[in-house]
Structure 1
Amino acid sequence: MHLGHSLSPSLWSEMVGFTTPEVIAEALTYLHRDGVLVLENVIEIEHLDRLRELLQPEAEEIAKDPTHHFNFGRHTRNMDQAPPTTLDLMFEDVWANRIAISILQSMLGPNLMCHYANGNTALKAKGRQPVHSDIDKPHPLFPFAYAINVPLSDMNVENGSTELWPGSHRESNIGQHVAFTDNEFGLAIKPALVEQRRRTSPPVQPSVRKGSLIIRDIRLWHAGMPNRTDTPRIMLAFVIQPTWFQAPSKVKLPLKSKALVESWRANSGLQYAAQWVDGDVDHKKVNSDDVDFSTGNSKLLELEPLMHPATEPTPAL
């Protein structure tokens, strides 16, 4: 199976919280080639079990909320489900995994910001999502955002492992997306382009072991797939971007977690684009309706004409 590549950092790396130059070299090579990488055995199983004990019973309850966000419609049964923001369940190896952050610092630069903390849950279903990427605006042709996905249990074809299209990030541009108007695009990729790529570089639906995390280029084509089991498949998601990119999205966090979040920054360098609130944050109400991973950097906005391939423009399909 060519998911891309799986790495198992050494126990020493896990203990000290950063990786060797050799692991960095391997990780960046495969992230550039495939746009996705699995790090195995980097999260404590006990932490995942405690999160699953809370979130799994809540999944069907959340799904009954008529206002809750489902990705590409309720029929997909693929919905947001955010991690809790109570101090005893905000585990550093989940929210700010030092090994993953050290790899992303080598790719994006030392000053990183998390602009998104949510999750993706696949409930039992027959439907699937269209192939899409998570950026629907003109964007650079170089890496500018990565998702860190944390499955709370083993993930496979049977329970709705995400379909991934390795290498698709290297050709990603807004012209590939379905257009609603001249300047508004959806997340979905034009079906003709999907079928064209399927013939030469088909997708994979990987098996990922509990305790792993997945690093995915935000530009990579992917799709939520049906969960054929009765157990919700829960996968947390954190999106990391360089601070200079000036992305607008913020993560709502309780003020009482500020010291903890700032300790993560001291340990790994990762900041959170936090919207601090008094009192508790109800994770069951967190949704991705207004999430925006585009740039707020004025100079980069001026350079939008360069955010397209040098080849002939993609024809309308």
Structure 2
Amino acid sequence: MRYSNEEHDVLARTFDRDGMVLLKQHFPKETLSGWRQAFDGILAHRLQENATAVRGANRHYITLPFAGVFADESIFCDPDVLAIVERVAGEDPVMCQLATDTPLRGSTYQDVHRDTPALFDNEPETPSFQLAVNFPLCDVTADNGPFETTLGTHRMNSEDAMRAYVAGEIPLHAIPMELGDVMIRDVRALHRGTPNNTDAPRPMVVIGYSRSWYFRPEVHIDVPRDVYQQLGPKAKRLLRHMPQVDDAGAFQSAESYLKFAY
């Protein structure tokens, strides 16, 4: 653990105010380089098979198999990340997503959107209930498609937030990231993906965590039984609601998480 309890508290307060925090150089670059090597083969296969969820022109969402380098407890059970997650989204959370978003050359600006609707109609200021932990598998620069987000809109009514954004009252902030950086964000904040103007794919991993009682069936992780049996108690607890399968499969034939913008 790199941060103290007091620092976790400060980060959680920053998250509650802004809807995100960034942990610089938090994951080992060597580990993420292994993820990138494994991901490149998946990306090539899924593109060839037209088996991605399209998130815009030349922008591809791909679920990662929960096996091999991707079933890494040092990443999804990272104690600092979980300490922040538990402070802002409640104790005993559920891990519900392991995927990537990858713009290629020819990608465009996404429409500004949220990744989930409000939990209750006309009750925008509920505490956080669904979080995305994002980390890139390469350096993210102004050229290859940085994530752009607003600050504080996770606590606003969706229509009010959009009106304020359109009126120029709420700016978008580009988030450049280095390999090893980790962003924790509330998926209700207004945000968008931007164009990748380079020849190299820009993969961004997303690990989803939610409150213990929140479940969206289209967003899930198929956990091989043999992999699950090798996990520690904390990892098993995080994955307790995910379906167990006989074989994760090297490549999925299709994506179920299709509606992503609200």
Which residue number corresponds to residue 185 of structure 2? Answer: 216
> Retained in 2: the 8 A contact 1:94–1:150?
no
Shift of 1:224: 1.0
Which residue number corresponds to residue 135 of structure 2? Answer: 150
Paired residues, number: 256
Shift of 1:270: 3.1
Runs (5+) with no aligned partner, structure 2:
none
**Could you say what the CA RMSD is over the residues aligned between the two structures, in angstroms?**
2.6
> Retained in 2: the 8 A contact 1:124–1:231?
yes
Shift of 1:264: 3.7
Question: Could you tell me which of 11, 34, 50 is aligned with 2:34?
Answer: 50
Paired AA for residue 79 in structure 2: R
Deviates more, 1:159-168 or 1:281-290: 281-290
Question: Could you tell me which of 138, 147, 153 is aligned with 1:168?
Answer: 153
Shift of 1:284: 4.6
Q: Write the distance in 2 (CA, Å) between the matches of 1:272 and 1:230.
A: 40
Structure 1 residues 172 and 64, CA gap change in structure 2 (3 angstroms)? farther
Which residue number corresponds to residue 253 of structure 1? Answer: 223
State the SS of the aligned residue for 1:81: strand
Pair 1:100 & 2:85 matched: no
Q: Write the distance in 1 (CA, Å) between the matches of 2:257 and 2:9.
A: 36
**Structure with more of its chain in helix, by fraction:** 1
Structure 1 residues 126 and 87, CA gap change in structure 2 (3 angstroms)? closer
Which residue number corresponds to residue 232 of structure 1? Answer: 201
State the SS of the aligned residue for 1:244: coil
Q: What are the superposed Cα offsets for residues 175-196 of structure 1, whole Å, 9 maximum, x if unpaired?
A: 46xxxxxxxxxxxx85x55312
State the SS of the aligned residue for 1:239: strand
Q: Write the distance in 2 (CA, Å) between the matches of 1:215 and 1:272.
A: 22
Paired AA for residue 257 in structure 1: V
> Retained in 2: the 8 A contact 1:69–1:80?
yes
Shift of 1:67: 4.3
TM-score w.r.t. length of structure 2:
0.86
Which residue number corresponds to residue 19 of structure 2? Answer: 35
Paired AA for residue 168 in structure 1: T
Paired AA for residue 114 in structure 1: M
Paired AA for residue 29 in structure 1: R
State the SS of the aligned residue for 1:85: coil
Shift of 1:92: 1.7
Which residue number corresponds to residue 248 of structure 2? Answer: 280
Structure 1 residues 97 and 271, CA gap change in structure 2 (3 angstroms)? same
Which residue number corresponds to residue 20 of structure 1? Answer: 4
Q: Write the distance in 1 (CA, Å) between the matches of 2:240 and 2:249.
A: 15
Structure 1 residues 117 and 281, CA gap change in structure 2 (3 angstroms)? same
Structure 1 residues 125 and 261, CA gap change in structure 2 (3 angstroms)? farther
Q: What are the superposed Cα offsets for residues 202-224 of structure 1, whole Å, 9 maximum, x if unpaired?
A: 11111111111110101111111
Paired AA for residue 110 in structure 2: Q
Runs (5+) with no aligned partner, structure 1:
1-12, 177-188, 293-317
Structure 1 residues 99 and 59, CA gap change in structure 2 (3 angstroms)? same
Shift of 1:271: 3.6
> Retained in 2: the 8 A contact 1:115–1:272?
no
Which residue number corresponds to residue 270 of structure 1? Answer: 238
Q: Whose relative contact order is higher, 1 or 2, with alpha carbons under 8 Å and at least 6 apart? A: 2
Which residue number corresponds to residue 300 of structure 1? Answer: none
Paired AA for residue 47 in structure 1: T
What's the % identity of the aligned pairs? 21
TM-score w.r.t. length of structure 1:
0.72
Shift of 1:150: 1.6
